[in-house]
Amino acid sequence: MQNGTMEELWSTSHLSGGNQAYLDEMFEAYLADPNSVTEQWRAVFDKLPNINDKVTTDTPHAPVRDHFLLLGKSRNVAASTLAPSIVTEHERKQVQVHQLATAYRFRGHQKAKLDPLGIAIRGDVPDLELQYHGLSAADEDTIFQCGNLYIGKSEAPLKDIVNALEQTYCSSIGTEFTHIVDTAERRWIEQRIESVRSKPDYSPQARKHILERLTASEGLEKFLGSKYPGTKRFGLEGGETLVPLMDELIQRSGSYGAKEIVIGMAHRGRLNMLVNILGKNPSELFQEFEGKSFLDQGSGDVKYHQGFSSNVMTEGGEVHLALAFNPSHLEIVSPVVEGSVRARQDRRKDNTRDQVVPVNIHGDAAFAGQGVVMETFQMSQTRAFNTGGTVHIIINNQVGFTTSKREDARSTEYCTDIAKMVQAPILHVNGDDPEAVVFATQVAVDYRQQFKKDVVIDLVCYRRRGHNEADEPAMTQPMMYQAIRSRKTSLALYIESLIEQEVITEADAKAMADEYRDLLDNGEHVVKSLVKEPNKTLFVDWSPYLNQPVVDDYDSSYPLKDLQDLANQMNTLPEGFPLQRQVNKILEDRAKMAKGALPINWGMAEMLAYATLIKDGHPVRMTGQDSGRGTFVHRHAVLHNQKDGSTYTPLAHLSDDQPSFEVFDSFLSEEAVVAFEYGYSTTTPNSLVIWEAQFGDFANGAQVVIDQFITSGEHKWGRLCGLVMLLPHGYEGQGPEHSSARLERFLQMCAEQNIQVCMPTTPAQVFHMLRRQARRNLRKPLVVMSPKSLLRHKDAVSSLEELANGSFQTVLPEADSSIDPKKVTRVVLCSGKVYYDLTEKRAKESADHVAIIRIEQLYPFPEDRLYEILLAYPKLKEVIWSQEEPMNQGAWYSSQHHMRKALHRVNPKLYLSYAGREASASPAAGYMALHLEQLEKFLNEAILLDQ
């Protein structure tokens, strides 16, 4: 119903036939004053699509007619009546009233009563004074046209207009929306908040439900505080209205037909959310307080980092809730949530972004301070990362840890100002007014549904305790905590209000609290909407990928004939699609490769890997700043028409029923984009998800994601991820920021088979590596030190047969058949591009006593395979590890012990030496001459040291 037209609404059973006249009348009443209809009907009308179109097209006629009637009553009516030089005093003041209303829309939020503590010092807002607009108290009884004010009247005395504006914009909700350039969006917000003056008339039943949720919120914190005094829990005290907020958000999203809601949040209130919103059994939480872990394997994590999922029932049906796991790095979870949501939407083919809703809950200090917030907003409307709008909720404690002075905390007026960059409306709301909080939530959800854009709820509250329960906040915020100690809780204030309005009695409130306490004491679920037997089709089944052993050998072959057919399809373009000259030459060469007339290069092998995976039923997604073409001009997955600029992606058109193949050139971000792709890959086990760095060096901008999610997420949270990171790496004399993807950092984090780190050196290797990644039931992140110069190196080629047959080789033995194993006295071990430098040097020096072995997978380290290959050299005396990177970087420090184990098995007397650049603070030389000098030096050490 919510997604239909007005006609569809009327055609439903109880809204059709003889009821239509009644409904028309009710709808007109709603348009004039939403509070004049019942709450149930108001909820229906609020959700009707494009209601604002009717409002904005119908209402302007009235002030126009009134204006001309006014002119008609003037004594000086003449042909020049419409001339701008003849304006009455009343008309002039009518314009000034309009300017006053506009000022309230622009600046009313600065006068709103947002701070429950009343200590936030706000300056006067002169724009909101009558005198500023040439009006005075003498005009209060004068009747003016209300123009496009949605206050249920076409005209009213000035005092009534001002009173309506004060209630709407300066009470418990301060709305910022005039920075939005789209007129329809602004008018929609004006209509929604002005028509009920930011305070809908809720029924007693609705108010009791809000009270029940608020009772649960405070009840859990009190229970934990008494049961586990002094234990760190990052409680929600002071911000308890988050629970009724989230309850309303979920129920209203469900009524729109949402099937999943993915939530990200940091610490504050997380335990309360787990129990009171997601339905975690309180007894399990209590056991965690007492030290029990529910993770079968791994290290586990603290309580307030844990994720959770459950299903709840809403008016629109069953909804799956997923709370994302997150580390202490606060806002980094935000883009992870967006990635998870996009993956779920793609899986459901939810192109309208209705069925999966992202919700990110922030702290005020982190929202203002963390750069990843900006990056996440920036991605919100892009093709690659759009999720149809996120509901952002800020638990605004008005203090980060100990920093509460605005001049220390930020340079902006509000912590939310960053959201204006994408013109998101911002609803500041006083956390001690639960009904205002619920209304702000309804507006936010409806806005997201209507416009598919981000919206922000700034829940202005406070923190009753310190940063954690063991902290003493009065050390640094004495005045704030003096006010907090004398402040009644949100629940106590709301109970007093409901008793005064005769909605409940004091006994009712006590009974509600006692009932909740009994449930906690008994360790029972406290979420009444929780579905006991959830619909499993609402979420992904990861069971085929759980507890899989890490086995390197995997048959990733593909029939030769089918491979050639795919190669031909890849090079087929729509008729009349002109290509740029060099791109056309690349496709011509690929056609020859398909026939076996040219060897396979890197770009062709990589594209064939994707093509075969698509044919095998695996969706492929790739993002990166230049991924369509490839930074180093090798991929050309997306082709550009040279006449009209249109694009064509051949791999997306292999067949009508194929899984998706998507390549996006992303905006210039590493941190948020990698986090997004991590979230995406943790939600789509069957997909090959790839992030490619422009240069591998730039991955350090995403170090937080790498450290706290990619390399440790499985061990901490049991969260599987098959993300592939392609990091161009190789020393070609391009300087410190264009050489190293920081291999050493990844290897340092390797343990317990947490990730895979590979340095493939042939096109066949990259083909089999990518196929293995998707085809195995193993889901581990794959970090690839991918090439730059090797993309077109004359020796870095493979045959079609090498792609069609075999598998990824973790270690490649000596490739030169002219090297006699019985004459080899020295073995040089290496990884990556340096192999080709070493072979060139060996040939130049005729050093046929040297064998060169490539370690293509540095982790998990293939010790057994290396041992088998080394056994082929009976006269082996020397083993050298050679690398391009400085000694303190690259694989040397992190991998030498693995190599030594294999050497010891071959011959305990074998010693592993080093040949590479000297230790350096910088990753690479900045001058070509120095680069070449260093290269020649360590190649001599590797090949000629004993001569």
The residue among 753, 775, 804 that closes a domain is: 804
Residue 11's pLDDT band (boundaries 50, 70, 90)?
A: very low
Tell me: do 897 and 819 sit in the same domain.
yes
d(CA 363, CA 570) in angstroms, rounded, equals 48
Q: Which is higher by pLDDT, 66 or 488?
A: 488
Tell me: do 344 and 423 sit in the same domain.
yes
Tell me: do 779 and 831 sit in the same domain.
no
Tell me: do 167 and 282 sit in the same domain.
no
pLDDT in tens, 653-681: 999 999 999 999 999 999 999 999 999 99
pLDDT in tens, 382-441: 999 999 999 999 999 998 888 888 888 889 999 999 999 999 999 999 999 999 999 999
Question: Is the residue at 193 inside a domain?
Answer: no
- How far is residue 38 from each of residues 31, 47, 152, 232, measured CA to CA in Å? 13, 15, 16, 45
What pLDDT, on a 0 to 100 scale, did the predictor assign at position 83?
Answer: 43
Lowest mean pLDDT among 132-146, 591-605, 933-947: 933-947
Which two three-digit tokens encode residue 836?
A: 């080709």
617: CATH: 3.40.50.12470
- Helix, strand or coil, per DSSP, at residue 883: strand
User: Based on the number of CB atoms within 10 Å of its own CB, is 36 exposed (0-12), middle (13-18) or buried (19 or more)?
Assistant: middle
What pLDDT, on a 0 to 100 scale, did the predictor assign at position 543?
Answer: 87
The reported pTM is: 0.91
Residue 919 DSSP label = P
Residue 784 DSSP label = E
Q: Judge whether residue 7 has pLDDT over 50.
A: no
- CA within 13 Å, CB half, 798: 24
Residue 105 and residue 190 in contact, taking contact as beta carbons nearer than 8 Å: yes
Tracing tokens 């791994």 back to the chain, one arrives at 298
Residue 766 and residue 806 in contact, taking contact as beta carbons nearer than 8 Å: no
Query: Which of 40-54, 475-489, 537-551, 887-901 has the largest mean confidence?
Result: 887-901
Residue 825 and residue 875 in contact, taking contact as beta carbons nearer than 8 Å: yes
Range of the domain at 936: 814-944
pLDDT in tens, 265-290: 988 888 999 999 999 998 888 888 77
Residue 243 and residue 437 in contact, taking contact as beta carbons nearer than 8 Å: no
Q: How many CB atoms lie within 10 A of CB 235?
A: 25
Question: Is the residue at 466 inside a domain?
Answer: yes
What pLDDT, on a 0 to 100 scale, did the predictor assign at position 536?
Answer: 84
Question: Is the residue at 652 inside a domain?
Answer: yes
What pLDDT, on a 0 to 100 scale, did the predictor assign at position 339?
Answer: 97
d(CA 322, CA 278) in angstroms, rounded, equals 8
Which two three-digit tokens encode residue 309?
A: 């999922």
936: CATH: 3.40.50.11610
Q: Which is higher by pLDDT, 66 or 118?
A: 118
What pLDDT, on a 0 to 100 scale, did the predictor assign at position 81?
Answer: 38
Mean pLDDT of 721-735: 95
129: CATH: 1.10.287.1150
Tracing tokens 């003041």 back to the chain, one arrives at 93
Tracing tokens 């999610």 back to the chain, one arrives at 709
Tell me: do 360 and 457 sit in the same domain.
yes
pLDDT, mean over the chain: 90
Question: Is the residue at 131 inside a domain?
Answer: yes
Which residue type sits at 819?
I
- How far is residue 382 from each of residues 342, 356, 376, 892, measured CA to CA in Å? 12, 17, 11, 41
Q: Judge whether residue 66 has pLDDT over 70.
A: no
d(CA 37, CA 24) in angstroms, rounded, equals 12
Beta strand 647-648 with 639-640: parallel, antiparallel or unpaired? antiparallel
Tell me: do 117 and 226 sit in the same domain.
no
Which two three-digit tokens encode residue 916?
A: 């590479």
d(CA 660, CA 651) in angstroms, rounded, equals 9
Q: Which helix (H) or strand (E) holds 353?
A: none
Residue 706 DSSP label = I
Question: Is the residue at 185 inside a domain?
Answer: no
Question: Is the residue at 23 inside a domain?
Answer: yes
Q: Which is higher by pLDDT, 27 or 175?
A: 175
d(CA 25, CA 3) in angstroms, rounded, equals 22
Residue 288 and residue 275 in contact, taking contact as beta carbons nearer than 8 Å: no
What pLDDT, on a 0 to 100 scale, did the predictor assign at position 56?
Answer: 41
Domain count, the chain: 4
Q: Residue 694 pairs with which residues in a beta bridge?
A: none
What pLDDT, on a 0 to 100 scale, did the predictor assign at position 287?
Answer: 84
| Nearest Cα residue to 883 out of 910, 914, 912 | 914
Q: Judge whether residue 372 has pLDDT over 70.
A: yes
Q: Residue 585, Cα to own-chain centre: how many angstroms?
A: 39
The residue among 775, 804, 833 that closes a domain is: 804
Which two three-digit tokens encode residue 218?
A: 């405070």
d(CA 268, CA 464) in angstroms, rounded, equals 12
Tell me: do 322 and 471 sit in the same domain.
yes
d(CA 354, CA 345) in angstroms, rounded, equals 8
Quote the crossing angle between the two packed helices 242-255 and 204-227, to the nearest 10°: 130
Which two three-digit tokens encode residue 663?
A: 């390549």
Tracing tokens 């009247």 back to the chain, one arrives at 153
Question: Is the residue at 187 inside a domain?
Answer: no
- Going across the sheet that includes 756-758, the strands are 661-665, 620-624, 688-692, 724-728, 782-786, 756-758, 857-859
- How far is residue 293 from each of residues 159, 287, 299, 302, measured CA to CA in Å? 62, 8, 9, 9
Tell me: do 351 and 429 sit in the same domain.
yes
Tell me: do 796 and 830 sit in the same domain.
no
pLDDT in tens, 293-331: 666 666 666 655 677 899 999 999 999 999 998 887 779
Residue 18's pLDDT band (boundaries 50, 70, 90)?
A: low
Residue 889 and residue 744 in contact, taking contact as beta carbons nearer than 8 Å: yes
The DSSP code sequence of 54-69 is HHHHHTTHHHHHHHHH
- CA within 13 Å, CB half, 124: 5
What pLDDT, on a 0 to 100 scale, did the predictor assign at position 766?
Answer: 98
What pLDDT, on a 0 to 100 scale, did the predictor assign at position 548?
Answer: 87
φ/ψ of 915, rounded to 5, equals -135, 110
d(CA 629, CA 606) in angstroms, rounded, equals 13
d(CA 529, CA 922) in angstroms, rounded, equals 58
- How far is residue 841 from each of residues 838, 852, 942, 943, 944, measured CA to CA in Å? 5, 11, 9, 7, 9
pLDDT in tens, 755-786: 999 999 999 999 999 999 999 999 999 999 99
Question: Is the residue at 541 inside a domain?
Answer: no
Q: Judge whether residue 20 has pLDDT over 90.
A: no
Residue 683 and residue 344 in contact, taking contact as beta carbons nearer than 8 Å: yes
Q: How many CB atoms lie within 10 A of CB 387?
A: 26
Report the percent of the chain where pLDDT is more than 70: 91
d(CA 346, CA 351) in angstroms, rounded, equals 7
Three-state helix/strand/coil letters over 707-741 = HHHHCCHHHHHCCCCCCEEEEECCCCCCCCCCCCC
What pLDDT, on a 0 to 100 scale, did the predictor assign at position 298?
Answer: 65
User: Based on the number of CB atoms within 10 Å of its own CB, is 87 exposed (0-12), middle (13-18) or buried (19 or more)?
Assistant: exposed
d(CA 870, CA 930) in angstroms, rounded, equals 34
The residue among 749, 784, 804 that closes a domain is: 804
Q: Residue 321 pairs with which residues in a beta bridge?
A: 261, 310
Q: In the structure, how many helices (H) and strands (E) does the chain have? A: 33, 24
Q: Residue 45, Cα to own-chain centre: how many angstroms?
A: 32
Tell me: do 160 and 215 sit in the same domain.
no
Tell me: do 401 and 350 sit in the same domain.
yes
What pLDDT, on a 0 to 100 scale, did the predictor assign at position 52?
Answer: 47
Mean pLDDT of 319-345: 92
Q: Judge whether residue 608 has pLDDT over 90.
A: yes
d(CA 475, CA 333) in angstroms, rounded, equals 31
Q: Residue 265 pairs with which residues in a beta bridge?
A: 361
Lowest mean pLDDT among 118-122, 153-157, 576-580: 118-122
The residues near 717 (Cβ < 8 Å, ≥ 6 apart) are 295, 298, 301, 305, 306, 307, 325
Tell me: do 836 and 864 sit in the same domain.
yes
Which two three-digit tokens encode residue 221?
A: 């914190």
Which residue type sits at 832?
G
pLDDT in tens, 236-256: 999 999 999 999 999 999 999
Torsion angle, CA of 586/587/588/592, rounded to 10 degrees?
100
